[in-house]
Chains A and B, each alone.
Chain A
Amino acid sequence: MGERIAQWWHLMPDGGSGIILLLVELVVALTAMGWAYNRGYRNTERGSVLRLPLLTVAFGLGLLVKHLSEPWWAAAVIALSVLVAGFLGRNDNGRGLGLPVMLVAALLGFGMLISATALTLVAMIAYLLSPVKKR
């Protein structure tokens, strides 16, 4: 089995393993944050734990940051994505999932896994401890 995996692994283009790792890390982070986000809602009000549109955008941002060699471009892309996420999450009293996910995706794109983990944890705790207004 291990040999078979290694064979498939070698078929990946150069850097392919890094891309898959980024995707897996994002899935884990989003799932954890999504779960914590959903805790405050009733079962019927909860969205999906892993939000696919958010994952797609975050993965795109992560890839972009990973492959931008010019730091100014990376900074601009992150700033723009954070602004867009904040704008889209304004109906959620500024506490939507978009903002932290974008930041985590940017950190993962830079390869800063410990920082991304810490930020995920911060977001999870904040979501778990923030109450939901009931109707």
Chain B
Amino acid sequence: MRKGKRANIQPTAWLFALAIPAALLFVVFSLMPYGTMVKQWPLSIGQPEVMAFQKVFDRRPGQHATGEAGTLNLTSSNGNCKTGQAVAATETDTATVEVRELQGSDEGIELVGSDAQGLNGAERTALMPADLSSLEVLYAQAVADSLPIHSAPLDLVRLSRCGSDAGPFLMQEATSPSMVARSASASGTFLGPDGKPTNTSTTEATDAARMPKLTGAAFDTSASAALGLLACIEQRKDLLNAETGALYDGITGRIVPLYRMAYGADTAANTQPLGVALREALGTASAQKRIQRMAKKIHADSAAWAQRFAAIDSARVPVLANGRNIGLVQAAVDRTREQFMQRLFHPDPEAFIGQPAQTTPTEKATLDPWLAQFKSGSDTLRFVRGKYDIDHDLDIPAGYGVVLEKGTRWNIAAGVNITIHGAFHARGTELNPVFIRPLDGVGPFGSITVEGTGDTRVRLRGVRISDGSEQWSNGLHRPGMLSFVLCDVQVDKCSIGSSSGTASISVQRGNGHVTDSYFIGSRKSALLFLEAHATVERCGFSGEGVTAPDGISSVGATVLVRGCTFNRIGGSALEFTGGSRALVSATTLTANNIALLTTEGAAVHVDACTFNGNATAVLVRSAASAWGETNLVMHTNTMTGNGKERDVQGGTVKDDPAPVDPGKWLAGAQ
């Protein structure tokens, strides 16, 4: 018996074969409650497929959500807006950019500014296609904005590519060195996932002492916990890899991780140094407790958070819904918000980050045996009149103050550094000063550094110091022969000689008050203020015998200079950069190369000063910087015999005859 064969399928069979499943799908998707539709479906059925069928087969009547968002227009002369050169325009800015694929994303794009100044001043802008699932990204950004972690603002725009609507996109400035420079302090620098600062020169890259110390302990605890919480909420391993990079504080050595929206699929744990160190920071019991505490604090404010998310919904959902049925949108939004809040209020860092490692208590730093003889009481090292040769590095642990009594003479061997983690007092007098000098016949000593905690007292009076240099330790630069970090410094009646380092005295953060002192022969800066509040009064600065030194250099600091004299300084007598604010009052500047240099967004007032015989009296530059425009206000000053009175390129120089009260100015500046 021959087996029968099927005939060609008849048109009626095709009709029924297509019509019956289609009718079934219409019935199912038009009758199914939206709450059920947006739930997790069984058998790994994904939401994208469900939503695709809903879009085609859900024919129930209802309103369709639509909304407006800002527009980002990409136009290109060659008609290709997917890659290559294009002009990007928003309501507020227009820039020429290069359109590239966003690294780590299948669908995202990146706009790179052609001259490092792209759209809205950003070097790089990331764009990710947005839909209803992007609500979680917007929620997470709202949480990130409330936590002590740095991230660029997130915006929702409708992208138009060469005239055709590409739908809604999430837009955020990508983390980059310029973003960090614009939003962080002058000493902050961007640290890539490889753990190398972007401002590292080749010399520094080969010197281990100049590289940041990448350990878990170096991470800022609050910012790390915030990032850990966000990683748990969003279930993002890429955040634990620190792929976003970090902000490195060049003064304290703290590493602050950065946050950004996700670029598509998540990544597995990698072995990049920064990620390894971050996971070490988050892999301790205390870090995970901190995450829980953060979540608890947010939970205590749950009503306010619900309101905040509802506000995001009402503003963003109509755009993200893309014309979908409002009932479905509402159900999806409710479910997304509920799940997000569940993860926000009850994070499980142990499950997501890993079990916390047992930490061994750190050994208490011990006192150098040589110093034991100087112990006076339980917490002071007192050096009385006499000569002390110091031939090895000294690290004086926290809990000890150092006092140099009158007539003390420290002779320090070449390259030797002294680091004090407590108060430092020198009590010299006119007749019996305190001397700090290098050991006879050898090169300059390193640096005497006081590592403070914010208000650590440093009181120096009657000190004669010279021939020191600077030090690098664990990636941190201590630029002065005398370096003070986070200290409350008073220097009075001192004589500061030459230093072969970056500065004779440096004050990094904290406060500095220098009075009635004399600076001579500094090879670079006599006084360097980095993000400090400082006053310099009745001091003399002389550049004799040295080529191109500077007097006072200020980077991101607030400085009052009053009643000082600057003579024959070969570089700049006064230099204000990095967004510094300064008042120079009643000061005489004579025979200097540049008497006053202001640049990089500094705001300087000059009042009642005398500029006499300088090659250039006032030099103003407004180089592209993160601190905006340079501003100089010249009040009533005397200018005589200067080669050039004003050399201004960019920036704003105003003349205002009204005098400035230094006391009021200082109060206003602080």
71-88 of chain A: CB within 8 A of chain B: none
CB-contact partner of A132 in B7, B13, B44, B46, under 8 A: B7
What is the minimal beta-carbon distance from B504 to any residue of chain A, in angstroms? 61
Residues in B whose Cβ lies below 8 Å from that of A123: 17
A114 and B53 contacting across the interface, CB-CB below 8 Å: yes
With beta carbons under 8 angstroms apart, the residue of B1, B3, B9, B53 that contacts A130 is: B9
Q: Determine the distance from Cα of A45 to Cα of B1 in the docked complex, in whole angstroms.
A: 9
Residues of B within 8 A of A133 (CB): 4-7
A71: nearest chain-B partner, CB-CB: B106
Q: Are B17 and A132 in contact (CB under 8 A)?
A: no
Contacts of A40 in B (CB 8 A): 4, 6
**Neighbour of A125 across the interface among B4, B13, B25, CB < 8 A:** B13
The answer to whether B7 touches A125 (Cβ under 8 A) is no
Is B44 within 8 A of A21, CB to CB?
Answer: yes
Within 8 A of A (CB), among B519-560: none
Decide if B49 touches A115 in the complex (CB within 8 Å). yes
With A118-B25, A122-B17, A122-B18 as contacts: A131 and B46 at CB distance below 8 Å:
no
0/1 string, A12-41, CB within 8 A of B gives 1: 000000100100010000000000000011
Q: How far is the CA of A134 from the CA of B21 in the complex (A)?
A: 29
Q: In the complex, which of the residues A40, A44, A125, A133 has the most CB atoms of chain B within 10 Å of its own CB atom?
A: A125
A125 and B5 contacting across the interface, CB-CB below 8 Å: no
Q: Decide yes or no whether B654 CB sits under 8 A from chain A.
A: no
Given contacts A122-B21, A126-B9, A129-B17, contact A134 B50 (CB under 8 A): no
Tell me whether B17 and A134 are in contact (CB under 8 A).
no
**B8 interface hit (Cβ, 8 Å):** yes
Is there an interface contact between A130 and B43, defined as CB atoms closer than 8 Å?
no
Residue in A21, A115, A130 whose beta carbon sits within 8 Å of that of B7 in the complex:
A130
Chain A residue nearest to B12 in the complex (CB): A129
Given A115-B49, A132-B5, is A21 in contact with B43 using a C-beta cutoff of 8 Å?
yes
Cα A130 to Cα B13 in complex, Å, equals 6
Contact in complex: B6, A45 (CB < 8 Å): no
In the assembled complex, A49 has its CB within 8 A of some CB on chain B: no
Q: Report Cα–Cα, A21/B42, bound state, in Å.
A: 11
Complex Cα distance, B5 from A13, in Å, reads 45
In the complex, whether A111 has a CB less than 8 A from a CB of chain B is yes
Cα distance, A118 to B25, chains bound together (Å) = 8
In the complex, what's the smallest C-beta–C-beta distance from B42 to chain A, in angstroms? 9
Docked-complex contact A95 and B17, CB < 8 angstroms: no
* In contact, A95 and B6 (Cβ under 8 angstroms): yes
Interchain CA distance A40-B7 in the complex, whole Å: 11
Q: Determine whether the beta carbon of B10 is less than 8 Å from that of A93.
A: no
Tell me if B658 is interfacial: C-beta within 8 Å of chain A: no
CB pair A114 B49 closer than 8 Å:
yes
Contact of B24 among A42, A45, A112, A121 (CB under 8 A): A121
Interface residues of A in 83-107 (CB under 8 A from B): 92-95
Report whether B45 and A114 are in contact in the complex, using a CB–CB cutoff of 8 Å: yes
**Is A135 part of the contact surface with B, judged by Cβ < 8 Å?**
yes
Structural contact, B44 and A130, CB atoms closer than 8 A? no
Interface residues of B in 1-36 (CB under 8 A from A): 1-10, 12-14, 16-18, 20-21, 24-25
- Is A113 engaged at the interface, CB distance under 8 Å to the other chain? yes
A135 lies within 8 A of B2 (CB): yes
Contact A93–B5 (Cβ < 8 Å)? yes
Chain A residue nearest to B22 (CB atoms) is A118
* Residue ID in chain B nearest A129 by CB atoms: B13
* Distance of A44 Cα from B4 Cα, bound (Å): 11
Given contacts A25-B43, A112-B49, A114-B49, contact A134 B4 (CB under 8 A): yes
B residues near A122, Cβ cutoff 8 Å:
17-18, 21
A119's nearest neighbour on chain B, judged by CB, is: B21
Contacts of B24 in A (CB 8 A): 121
**Contact between chains at A113 and B14 (CB < 8 Å):** no
Report yes or no: A126 in contact with B44, Cβ–Cβ below 8 A: no
Best-buried of B5, B13, B44, B53 by chain A (most CB within 10 Å): B5
* Interface-centre pick from B5, B6, B10, B25 (highest chain A CB count, 10 A): B6
**CB contact between A44 and one of B1, B44, B45, B50 (< 8 Å): that residue:** B1
Complex interface bits, A32-70 against B, C-beta within 8 A gives 1, otherwise 0? 000000001110110000000000000000000000000
Known contacts being A92-B5, A93-B5, is A126 close to B20, with CB within 8 Å?
no
Q: From B106, which residue of chain A is reached at the shortest CB distance?
A: A71
Q: Which residues of A contact B45 (CB under 8 A)?
A: 111, 113-114
Is B49's CB under 8 angstroms from A126's CB? no
Q: Interface centre among A18, A25, A112, by most B CB within 10 Å?
A: A112
Q: Do B46 and A111 have beta carbons less than 8 Å apart?
A: yes
**B residues in contact with A25, CB < 8 Å:** 43
Closest residue to B24 on the A side, CB-wise? A121
Task: Determine whether the beta carbon of B20 is less than 8 Å from that of A92.
Answer: no
| Residues of chain A lying within 8 A (CB to CB) of residue B10 | 129-131
Could you say which residues of chain B place their CB within 8 Å of the CB of A113? 43-45, 49
Task: Return the chain A residue nearest B25 by Cβ.
Answer: A118
Q: A118 and B21 in contact (CB under 8 A), knowing A18-B44, A113-B44? A: yes
Minimum C-beta distance from A121 to chain B (A): 4
B6 near A121: Cβ-Cβ < 8 Å = no
CB closest chain-B residue, reference A130: B9
CA–CA, A122 to B14, complex, Å? Answer: 8
- Which chain A residues lie closer than 8 Å to B21 at the CB level? 118, 121-122, 125
Contact of A126 among B1, B13, B50 (CB under 8 A): B13
Partner of A131, one of B7, B44, B50: B7
Picked from A21, A112, A132, the residue with its CB within 8 Å of the CB of B4 is A132
B17 and A125 contacting across the interface, CB-CB below 8 Å:
yes
Residue numbers in A under 8 Å from B7 (CB-CB): 93, 130-133
Docked Cα-Cα span, A135 to B2, in Å, equals 6
- In the complex, A113→B21 CA distance in Å? 14
Could you list some 10 contacts between A and B, CB below 8 A?
A18-B44, A45-B4, A111-B46, A113-B49, A118-B21, A121-B20, A122-B21, A129-B10, A129-B12, A135-B2
7 tightest Cβ-Cβ pairs between the two chains A and B: A129-B13, A125-B17, A126-B17, A121-B21, A132-B4, A130-B9, A122-B17
A114-B45, A130-B7, A131-B7 provided; 20 other pairs, C-beta below 8 A? A18-B44, A21-B44, A41-B4, A42-B4, A45-B4, A95-B8, A118-B25, A121-B21, A122-B17, A122-B18, A123-B17, A125-B13, A125-B17, A129-B12, A131-B6, A132-B4, A133-B5, A133-B7, A134-B4, A135-B1
| B binding-site residues for A, Cβ under 8 Å | 1-10, 12-14, 16-18, 20-21, 24-25, 43-46, 49-50, 53
